[in-house]
Amino acid sequence: MQNSSDTVDNPGWLDAIRWNADGLVPAIAQDAESGDILMMAWMNRESLRLTAEEGHAIYWSRSRGKLWRKGETSGHQQVIKDIRLDCDEDVILLKVEQKGGIACHTGRRSCFYRTLKDGEWTSVEPVLKDPDAIYGSN
Amino acid sequence: MQNSSDTVDNPGWLDAIRWNADGLVPAIAQDAESGDILMMAWMNRESLRLTAEEGHAIYWSRSRGKLWRKGETSGHQQVIKDIRLDCDEDVILLKVEQKGGIACHTGRRSCFYRTLKDGEWTSVEPVLKDPDAIYGSN
């Protein structure tokens, strides 16, 4: 829905979203081509607006309390192909092209690399690149 | 990781999860076959334990404050094929077989049926079954 109070910095489509008490919404990143779920992170109003404007995923880091420009250090940006909203207006789905083929800070393709097997969490996805080589070892 | 204090009602693999302040964790449901993301809901410790035990998705309804046995009314159960945990141990991914091919209470396959297009949220997925026919019109 478009809003008569639309401005560049505050487009009306952001008003459709039911932000939580902290002003955040979960955002799922899915590989647009393979359908693999890469990660889930959080967005505030500004990060979602910038994501739509700039065309790559920008999250809100709850631990650091600031914008998190995904791929800024690693080069593993997520190019936006589609932005979806769920029926309850409280979850965002991003369909993305994952640069470098690695979304996880552990060097794996997806953050969801552990499966529940015989009552234990078992890693089932390989490390594609050493995190030290991605982020530098300092 | 298995835990020496494992019991049937409190298996140790639940301890690996970083539950939020409300004792909940987001759970993404993905169609195991097509890769489509169906919905995101929340789970508490009991609902995740029961999901693993019973083999179909049981969420925690935040609005109703009780267990939500997905498909109990609609028949649209989600049969569990895989349970994944992310690198931060605070998001669950369920790969499921979606009974009836409908996850959304609006009668659509997926809850993520709106896309951001020209500054508006636009529905791009058809209603497969009238919600009144799913839940009864009373």
The CATH number of whichever domain residue B39 belongs to comes to: 3.10.20.810
Pairing of strands A92-98, A25-31: parallel
- Mean of pLDDT values over B101-122: 97
Q: Is residue A117 in some structural domain? A: no
Q: Is residue B11 in some structural domain? A: yes
* Domain around A40: 4-101
Q: Is residue B53 in some structural domain? A: yes
What band does A1 get if pLDDT is binned at 50, 70 and 90? very low
Say whether residue A61 is in contact with chain B using an 8 A CB cutoff.
no
| pLDDT, tens digit (0-9, with 9 covering 90-100), for B21-49 | 999 999 999 999 999 999 999 999 999 99
Say whether residue A14 is in contact with chain B using an 8 A CB cutoff.
no
Q: Is residue B71 in some structural domain? A: yes
- Mean of pLDDT values over B61-68: 96
Q: Is residue A57 in some structural domain? A: yes
Q: Is residue A24 in some structural domain? A: yes
The 3-class SS string of chain B reads: CCCCCCCCCCCHHHHHCCCCCCCEEEEEEEECCCCCEEEEEEEEHHHHHHHHHHCECEEEECCCCEEEECCCCCCCCEEEEEEEECCCCCCEEEEEEEHHHCCCCCCCCCCCCEEEECCEEEECCCCCCCHHHHHCCC
pTM for the full predicted model: 0.94
* pLDDT value at A3 more than 90: no
* pLDDT value at A55 more than 50: yes
Report the pLDDT value the prediction gives residue A9, as an integer from 0 to 100.
76
Say whether residue A127 is in contact with chain B using an 8 A CB cutoff.
no
Q: In Å, how far from its chain's centre is CA B72? A: 13
| pLDDT, tens digit (0-9, with 9 covering 90-100), for A65-102 | 999 999 999 999 999 999 999 999 999 999 999 999 99
* pLDDT value at B70 more than 90: yes
- Mean of pLDDT values over A39-57: 98
Q: Is residue A84 in some structural domain? A: yes
Interface test with B, best of A17, A28, A43 (most B CBs within 10 A): A28
Report the pLDDT value the prediction gives residue A5, as an integer from 0 to 100.
60
- CB contact (8 A) between residue B87 and residue A6: no
CA distance A137 to chain B (A): 20
* pLDDT value at B138 more than 60: no
Q: Is residue B117 in some structural domain? A: no
Report the pLDDT value the prediction gives residue A137, as an integer from 0 to 100.
65
- The answer, yes or no, to whether ipTM is higher than 0.95 is no
The domain total for chain A is 1
Dihedral of CA atoms B72, B77, B79, B82 in degrees, nearest 10, equals -100
CA A18/CA A77 separation, integer angstroms: 26
What band does B10 get if pLDDT is binned at 50, 70 and 90? confident
